[in-house]
Amino acid sequence: MSSFSLWSAAAVALTIGLGSTAYLWSYRRHRTEVATGIAGLAKMRWREFARLIVEALRDRGFEAESVEESLARGTQAELRLLRAGKPWLLSCKLGDGDYKVPAATVAELADAVRFHGAAGGLLVTTGRFDTNSERVADGLDLYSGETLWELVEPQLPASTRHEIIAAAQKRSIQTIVAAWGAAIALALIVGFLVPQLLPDEAPTPTPAAAGTDAPAAGDGDDAPPAPTPPAADTPQPAPVAPPAPPAPQQPATPVPSASTGDADADRAEVIRSAARLPGTERALWSTASNLLIYRLTEAQKQDVDAICQLLERYPELRSSRVQLQPPPNSNSRVRFFQCKAY
């Protein structure tokens, strides 16, 4: 028996190497681009960052009443915006990847929106929101990470975007090379272990000599008497049929899942699918568990059902909160619901 299994080693190396390459290049690379871009935004001055956000919001129907006057009040002040003739408040928070916006800051902006009678508020940060921020963000749109990058990327110069993409690709290639190295190392270990774990071949048994244990033809005295056949007229018992096996139970048909196993890829697919629903202007994730949908028409029951049917296909996202933003010039309030109890 060989001491190394080439086929086992090759199978392990290809499975792990190709799987890692597909994941790192198709999904992780985009997350690396987002992280690289957000890190670049975090190095900006607050005024530059606030101007960039205001310019990005123009494409979404917002106009600043007075950018310079708002900026002059400092980094803790809210910028006043107009959308469809209604006032909005904007708050920008700069910080690195470890910076976390506390729920108290989110609640303060929500209170300011109610105090000034604004239609809503927007809180944008290069950091993260803490776990309680979503709970107190009534009437607010929260932008960080993926949603922030989606907002500002179109406003960046082409050269800046190319630099970020190139840096993300370089880091992804380095990670892929490391993944292949680990796959080859594991494949070598498996190649040496598999032959040792396989059982040795059992020796072929030698057939016994014919007639060794068979009784001699003339040993009729020691042979047991042959059974007496039953008489022809003796009634024979009817054969009993074996009991039929129980019918297998049919399992309930599960809801087909569209999950890829990668939460970011699933969220991106939910955004694309939700944006194609009738009456929807666009969709985005304001937080990891809050799906924000801008409506062109008032949402009816069939629209809510369609959204829930979409989320039901992703087990990790089906309990997310949905925030329906009413259409422009609508007097309806922002609507929040969860599909499991809407």
- 142-151, 160-169, 222-231: which is most confident: 142-151
The pLDDT value given to residue 329:
82
Give the amino acid at 141: D
Residue 246, pLDDT > 60, answer no
The pLDDT value given to residue 220:
46
Residue 66 backbone phi and psi in degrees, to 5: -160, 100
Residue 272 backbone phi and psi in degrees, to 5: -65, -40
The pLDDT value given to residue 328:
84
Give the span between the Cα atoms of 317 and 300, in whole angstroms: 22
- With 0-12 / 13-18 / 19 or more C-beta atoms within 10 angstroms meaning exposed / middle / buried, residue 152 is buried
Terminal-residue alpha carbon distance, the chain: 64
Q: What average pLDDT score do residues 187-216 get?
A: 61
Q: What is the 8-class DSSP label of residue 26?
A: I
Give the span between the Cα atoms of 73 and 20, in whole angstroms: 49
Q: What average pLDDT score do residues 25-46 get?
A: 84
Q: DSSP letters along 112-126, please?
A: HHHHTT-SEEEEEES
Residue 109 backbone phi and psi in degrees, to 5: -65, -40
- Of 326, 13, 295, 328, the C-alpha closest to 139 is 326
**How many Å separate Cα 141 from the centre of its chain?**
22
Neighbours of 286 (CB within 10 A): 23
The number of C-alpha atoms within 13 Å of 50 and in the hemisphere containing its C-beta is 25
Give the span between the Cα atoms of 67 and 51, in whole angstroms: 8
Q: In the structure encoding, which two tokens stand for residue 117, read together?
A: 């009678």
Residue 296, pLDDT > 70, answer yes
Radius of gyration of the chain (CA): 35
Band (214; pLDDT cuts 50, 70, 90) = very low
Sorted by sequence, the CB contacts under 8 Å of residue 82 that are 6+ apart come out as: 62, 63, 64, 65, 88
Q: In the structure encoding, which two tokens stand for residue 13, read together?
A: 């190396």
The pLDDT value given to residue 239:
56
- Of 7, 32, 22, 27, the C-alpha closest to 171 is 32
Tokens 């001055």 found at? 45
Cβ atoms of 313 and 282 closer than 8 Å: no
Give the amino acid at 118: A
Q: What is the pLDDT of residues 163-177, one digit of tens each?
A: 788 877 777 888 889
Percent of the chain with pLDDT over 90: 25
Residue 77, pLDDT > 70, answer no
265 SS3 class? helix
